[in-house]
C-alpha cells in the first residue's frame, strides 16, 4: 500500500460514515415500515435557542440610537439608488405617542447630519415610514434554583436500535432562571422603510424589550374622557 492509499483510505471511510449517517437521518420515514426504529410524538418537544441578548429600550437615548442607525443605513441606500442626489426624504408623523414624536425629530436630525435633504411634503420625495408592533407576553418560563436545566438537543429525533430499545437522549444545558428572571414582559418591533414610487429602497426591522407599563409610549391611546361606543343588533323574532 503506497502513501497515497494510506492517506485516502481513512478519508474515504470517514466520508462513507458521514454519508450513511446523513442518509439514515434524512431518508427515515415515519410510517409503519420504520415503527421498529423510530418513536413518534403528537407534538414537537420544546427546545431552547443559543444564548443571546436583546436590547431593552428605557431611555430617550435608545430611541435616538435607533434613529441614527436608520439614518446611516438609509443614507447609504440612497447613495446607491441616487448617486447623483436630487431626491429629498419626507418623514411623516408616525403617530402622536411620545416615541413617534421623538423618533421623527431624531430621524430628521440624523438625516441632515448625513447630508440627506429633507422635504416638507411627500410629492416627488422618498417616504420614510415608521410603524410599531407591540407585544405583551404572559411568559411561562421553566426555572430552576441552579439557573440551568437539561433539555433535548434542538433538531433531535428519537430513534430505536435494532433491538427496539430507545437510543440515549442527547441533552444540552439550557439557561433557566439566572438570566430570565428579569426578562421584561413586553416587546416592540420598529419597522422603518424608505420607499419611492411604490418600491422599497431600504428597510429595517428592529426588536427591543420594553416594560409593559410603558405601553402608552409606543401605542396610541384613546383621548381622556373618550366614550367607547358599543354596537347592538336588533333581531325580529
pLDDT at 214 over 60: yes
> Could you tell me if 15 and 49 lie in one domain?
no
How far from 20 is each of 1, 13, 188, 190, CA to CA, in Å? 26, 10, 45, 46
- Asked if 105 and 9 sit in the same domain, the reply is no
Does some domain include residue 23?
Answer: yes
Tell which wins on pLDDT, 33 or 43.
43
Tell me: do 151 and 95 sit in the same domain: yes
Amino acid 228: pLDDT: 60
Examine residue 229 and state whether it is found in any structural domain, yes or no.
no
Residues 51 and 25 reside in one and the same domain: no
Any domain includes 22: yes
Clarify whether residues 26 and 121 are in a common domain. Answer: no
pLDDT in tens, 179-213: 665 788 899 999 999 999 999 999 999 999 999 88
pLDDT, position 43: 75
Residue 232 falls within a domain, yes or no? Answer: no
Are 63 and 150 within one domain?
A: yes
Residue 35 host element (H or E): none
Q: CA nearest 104: which of 89, 124, 123?
A: 89
Question: Of 70, 57, 58, which is closest to residue 104 (Cα–Cα)?
Answer: 70
Average pLDDT (150-167) is 71
Average pLDDT of 147-154?
69
Say if CB 131 and CB 203 are below 8 A apart: no
Q: Are residues 98 and 66 in the same domain?
A: yes
The DSSP code for 180 is G
Residue that is written with C-alpha cell 423510530 in the block: 38
Residue 110 pLDDT > 60 = yes
Structural domain includes residue 75: yes
* Co-location of 57 and 142 in the same domain: yes
User: What percentage of the chain has pLDDT greater than the value 90?
Assistant: 46
Residue 235 falls inside a structural domain: no
Where does the pLDDT of residue 121 fall: very low under 50, low under 70, confident under 90, or very high at 90 and above?
A: very high
Q: Is the pLDDT of residue 34 over 70?
A: no
Number of domains making up the chain: 2
pLDDT number for residue 8: 40
CATH number of the domain that residue 168 is part of: 3.30.160
Residue-number span of the structural domain to which 3 is assigned: 1-30
Question: 21 with 110, same domain?
Answer: no
Cβ burial 13-26 (10 Å sphere, 16+ → b, else e) = eeeeeeeeeeeeee
| Residue 151 neighbours by CB under 8 Å, 6+ apart | 47, 48, 171, 172, 173, 174
Q: Do 56 and 133 lie in a common domain?
A: yes
When pLDDT is averaged across residues 95-118 and rounded to a whole number, the result is: 97
Residues 140 and 97 in one domain: yes
pTM for the structure as a whole: 0.70
Residue 61 domain flag: yes
Compute the distance between CA of residue 128 and CA of residue 89 in angstroms, rounded to an integer: 7
Same domain (yes/no): 11, 52:
no
Top pLDDT among 76 and 158 is at: 76
Q: Are 210 and 184 in contact (CB under 8 A)?
A: yes
Could you tell me if 134 and 219 are in contact, meaning their C-beta atoms sit under 8 angstroms apart?
Answer: yes
Q: Is residue 64 part of a domain?
A: yes
Amino acid at each position: 500500500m503506497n502513501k497515497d492509499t494510506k492517506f485516502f483510505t481513512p478519508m474515504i471511510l470517514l466520508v462513507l460514515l458521514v454519508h450513511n449517517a446523513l442518509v439514515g437521518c434524512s431518508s427515515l420515514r415515519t410510517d409503519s415500515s420504520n415503527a421498529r426504529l423510530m418513536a413518534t410524538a403528537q407534538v414537537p418537544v420544546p427546545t431552547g435557542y443559543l444564548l443571546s441578548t436583546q436590547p431593552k429600550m428605557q431611555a430617550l437615548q435608545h430611541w435616538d440610537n435607533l434613529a441614527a442607525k436608520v439614518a446611516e443605513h438609509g443614507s447609504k441606500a440612497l447613495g446607491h439608488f441616487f448617486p447623483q442626489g436630487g431626491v429629498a426624504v419626507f418623514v411623516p408623523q408616525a403617530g402622536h405617542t411620545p416615541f413617534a414624536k421623538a423618533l421623527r425629530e431624531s430621524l430628521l436630525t440624523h438625516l441632515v447630519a448625513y447630508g440627506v435633504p429633507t422635504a416638507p411634503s411627500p410629492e416627488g420625495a422618498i417616504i420614510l415610514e415608521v410603524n410599531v408592533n407591540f407585544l405583551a407576553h404572559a411568559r411561562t418560563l421553566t426555572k430552576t434554583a441552579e439557573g440551568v436545566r437539561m433539555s433535548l438537543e434542538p433538531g433531535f429525533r428519537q430513534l430505536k436500535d435494532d433491538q427496539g430499545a430507545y437510543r440515549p437522549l442527547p441533552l444540552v444545558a439550557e439557561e433557566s432562571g439566572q438570566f430570565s428572571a428579569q426578562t421584561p414582559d413586553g416587546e416592540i418591533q420598529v419597522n422603518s422603510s424608505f420607499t419611492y414610487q411604490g418600491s422599497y429602497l431600504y428597510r429595517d426591522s428592529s426588536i427591543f424589550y420594553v416594560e409593559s407599563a410603558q405601553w402608552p409610549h409606543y401605542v396610541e391611546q384613546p383621548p381622556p374622557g373618550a366614550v367607547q361606543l358599543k354596537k347592538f343588533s336588533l333581531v325580529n323574532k
